Structure 1
Amino acid sequence: MKKNVLLLVLSISMLLLIGGCSKKDNTDDNTENAPTVTEGAENTDETDTADITDGTDTPAAEPLVNTLSKGDYKLEDHITLGQYKGVEVTVEKLEVTEEDLNTAIQNDMIANGAAPTEITDRPVQNGDTVNIDFEGFKDDVAFEGGTAAGVDLTIGSGQFIPGFEEKLIGTNVGDKVDLDLTFPEDYQSEDLAGQDVVFKVTVNSIKQYELNEDYVLNNTEYESIEAYTDAIREELVLVNEETMKVTKENNVYSKVLENAEIISIPQSLIDYYVNDIKVIYTNTAQMYGMDLASFITANGMTEEVFNSTSQEYAESIATRELILNAIIKAENIEITEEEFNTKVDEYVAEYGYESSEQFLEEADEDILREDILFRKVLEFLSAEAVEI
């Protein structure tokens, strides 16, 4: 299983880097029917499945690999770079608020099985856990998967679609409210993506997890509430810093893309990434004991949508590869063995391998080196950019 996870992680890492897509795990035992947003399903196309299957309907025991080649092509036939150094970008500065801190502590206490306190004398606040019943309507008709009862939802957790949690702030136990919301344009269900809906919600109870010294001493490595709180705050600061870093890199890339001329995208490169995405999802399905078609259906998508989205996403990934490779060539950017070994050591520690040798036996070294190189290019572009 470790090998399956490793290969999946490396493949998704590559796709996130080159595709500029983010993912959020919204899984919750109590909210399987909730209006959550599963972002960024990596995509697949109509590439011949013989490239990725073992010829049977049963997933292979070992993870599948992408056997297609990216092909041979000349960069200058497909791309002309515009300005890529010194582009101007704006990045919102993120600060840790007391609400952020409270929500993080609440989530940590929930994860550690702390006992909540029932709240009856005030309305819902950010960080509270509310128990709700809800029913979703589109054009006055209840839609599939939009109804549930007795769901626990922590306000500020981002489990539900944008606006849902925020509009419950200020409600009281027993309130019945209508939430006018709009599903995101990229929502996984075609029928709901970008659609205006109404959720009829009943607030059954409000709970809060009160931080005290007993909890800190019995459930954390810290010896005081102050030390525990400071540690949580520092974690949030690091998360914000990483978010701002990634946001800047994405904004810089968008400017570089805007300034470049994409003459054409090699079909072999598109085919490679279409197949790569299909491999990733086939391996993910296999880990859950499912075939690809069943996995797609279980995630609320049709094969047609899955395939068309895959094609679009693969073209985006291939475009980024053209741009990054053109910059690598123009700037003569390389990775040193020290940089490579440092990254390998990070993976070894993160995924629990005994040694770098064991890690490299399971990883594709060529893909890994390319991944590290592309990251270096994005860091180079970000460092050269001007924040305004």
Structure 2
Amino acid sequence: MKAELIKKEGNKVTLKITVDNNKFESAVNKAYNKTKSKYNLPGFRKGKAPRVVIESQYGKGVFYNDAIEILFPEVYPQAIKELNIDPVDSPNLDVEEISKDNGLVMVLNVEVKPEFELGNYKGIEVTKVENNVTEDEVDLKLKEMLDRNSRLVSVEDKALESGDTAVIDFEGFDNGVAFEGGKGENYNLVIGSNTFIPGFEDQLIGKKAGEELKVEVNFPEEYHVEALAGKPVVFEVKVNDVKVKEVPELDDEFAKDASEFDTLAELRADIKAKLQEEAKKAAEVELKNTIVEKVAENTEIDVPESMINNQINNMLNDLNYQLQYQGLSLQHLLEMTGRTMEQLREERREDAKKLVKSSLVLEAIADAEKIEVSDEEFNQELEKMASAYNMEVEKIKSSLRPEDIEDIKGQVKITKTLDLLVESANIA
């Protein structure tokens, strides 16, 4: 195999890979043996036709694409290593020639990591932010605990108020015709939560269990179901039950029931200590992010489009996972907000570009400072992972692929690089 760098313009590289004819012919034979079962030719049992016969019927290049797919995973990594280039996306491939004299000649165009000069990254001037925990924040955490330990209790002959839960049956009608998705039974609706169409919940206020009513509302103009958008509809509703939230008293008894502490004072102190630890960690993260942003501002980089797009993909995948926990999806989000996927991607473009630039800068600093990860540091990271996932270290280690090991070492290297930046910064 021979690799040649044809040209480099900015972050785009053109290279040529030549595979001699003997190696290519071997790959063609492998392709023939792999795919011959697909061919059924007269005079031969299926999958038994010789290669030359199949080529005479379908053309000499019938196995070429499969042969290239067989060769590519072997020759491409060798070529980029030999040429010392670092691709950031899959290459576009064109076959320039296939012949006995020259074998397989491929021309590839690919985006690579940009070359750039690091700006100043030591002695960065930053102001440390102090995140002090207030008693109001402690009160808020206690309120959340109360809410988690509260229960819904049915109350007879109670008129619905804001904050109550109405257990309802409902069915929606558009000009007297029931519409899809407009029906529910024993649905728990918190009055004032604004989870239903505007105006729906207000019309339930004052109603009691056993009462039936008609709720007249208009669907919003931007409603995701086009057939209903902006339309007036009628819901036939029956209130089956009225429930109120029964919240426990915030006292020593609550502390005993909801925690490992005997008194409310001990519980408050523990909550405050944990909040202070969280605030300290958040301040450290904010400090590191500020330093990296300032270092990135000192460095000019032509960020490759493919890296920006890949980062946007990662951001949207994360968003989709978050939405799935709420029973939603990206498609639901687009429908509810009236946006397109292109608009959603464009909204995240600038942040994605900043993240990629910061990542490139950190990698360059790690290289400049010759930061490495020792076996001891790697094992310490595995121990942290084992503790977080409640697994044995050896079990995690045995499951790691080579690329997983490199990813973990890469994360440790970046952490060490961030620590170096903080140590060398002038923090006020």
- Give 1:286 shift: 7.5
Structure 1 residues 304 and 270, CA, compared in 2 at 3 Å: closer, same or farther?
Answer: closer
- Amino acid aligned to 1:80: E
8 A Cα contact 1:68 1:275, kept in partner? no
Would the aligned equivalents of 2:118 and 2:364 in 1 still touch at CA under 8 Å?
yes
CA distance in 2, matches of 1:323, 1:311: 18
Within 5 Å, give how 1:124-203 maps onto structure 2: 131=163, 150-151=191-192
Alpha carbons 1:90, 1:387 under 8 Å: kept: yes
Instruction: Structure 1: state its 5+ residue gaps.
Output: 1-66, 117-129, 133-147, 154-188, 190-204
Q: Pick from 253, 260, 265: which aligns with 1:214?
A: 253
Q: Does 1:100 align with 2:141?
A: no
Cα separation, 1, equivalents of 2:283 and 2:255: 30
The correspondence of residues 22-171 of structure 1 with structure 2, limited to 5 A, is: 73=112, 77=115, 79-113=116-150, 131=163, 150-151=191-192
Q: After TM superposition, give the deviation of residue 355 of structure 1 in Å.
A: 4.2
- Alpha-carbon separation, structure 1, partners of 2:399 and 2:326: 24
**Offset, 1:236:** 0.9
Residues 265-319 of structure 1 deviation map (CA, whole Å, 9 limit, x = unaligned):
2344334434444555566677888775456546775312222234434322221
Aligned CA distance change for structure 1 residues 243 and 300 (closer, same or farther; 3 Å):
farther
State the AA in 1 paired with 2:373.
Answer: I
TM-aligned CA deviation for residue 68 of structure 1 = 5.0
Q: Quick one: structure 1 residues 211 and 287, their matched pair in 2 at CA, closer, same or farther if it must change by over 3 Å?
A: closer
Correspondence list, 1:295-374, <5 A: 296-297=334-335, 301-358=339-396, 361=399, 364-374=404-414
1:376 aligns with 2:416: yes
Q: Matches of 1:373 and 1:103 in 2, distance apart?
A: 38
**Gaps spanning 5+ residues in structure 2: where?**
1-87, 92-109, 154-161, 165-188, 195-221, 223-243
Aligned to 1:186: none
Displacement of 1:237? 0.7
Equivalent residue letter for 2:150 = G
Partner AA of 2:419 in structure 1: E
Aligned-residue sequence identity (percent) comes to: 24
Q: 1:386 is matched with which residue?
A: 426
Please give the per-residue CA displacement for 1:320-366, whole angstroms capped at 9, x wherever unaligned: 12201111111111222222222222222223334453476378333
Change (3 A) 1:351 1:151: farther
Number of the residue aligned with 1:259: 298
Q: Cα 1:307–1:249, aligned 2, differ >3 Å: closer, same or farther?
A: same
Report SS of the residue matched to 1:80: coil
Distance between the aligned counterparts of 1:287 and 1:150, measured in 2? 23
Inter-partner Cα distance in structure 1 for 2:111 and 2:128 = 37
Report which structure shows greater RCO (CA 8 Å, sep ≥6): 1
- Supply the RMSD in Å over aligned alpha carbons: 4.0
Q: Is the 8 A contact 1:106 1:208 kept in 2?
A: no
8 Å Cα contact 2:255/2:263 also seen in 1? yes
Q: Report if the CA contact (8 A) 2:147-2:247 is conserved.
A: no
Aligned partner of 2:119: which letter? Answer: G
Letter in 2 for 1:106: K
Contact 2:152 2:245 (C-alpha < 8 Å) held by counterparts? no
Task: Note if contact 1:249-1:378 (Cα within 8 Å) is conserved in structure 2.
Answer: yes
Residues 151-194 of structure 1, C-alpha deviation per residue, up to 9 Å, x if partnerless? Answer: 479xxxxxxxxxxxxxxxxxxxxxxxxxxxxxxxxxxx9xxxxx
Over alpha carbons, which structure has the higher Rg?
Answer: 2
SS at 2:191 equivalent: strand
- CA gap of 1:387–1:211, structure 2 versus 1, over 3 A, is same
Post-superposition offset of 1:87? 0.7
Give the strand-richer structure, 1 or 2. 2
Q: 1:106 to 1:298 in 2, by over 3 A?
A: same
One-letter amino acid matched to 1:150? I
Give the TM-score normalised by the residue count of structure 1: 0.52
For the residue of structure 1 that corresponds to 2:145, the secondary structure is helix
Deviation at 1:223, TM superposition (A): 2.0
The 1-side partners of 2:263 and 2:152 are apart by 19
The separation in 2 between residues aligned to 1:227 and 1:295, in whole angstroms, is 43
Letter in 2 for 1:256: V
C-alpha spacing 1:349/1:113, structure 2 compared with 1 (3 Å): farther
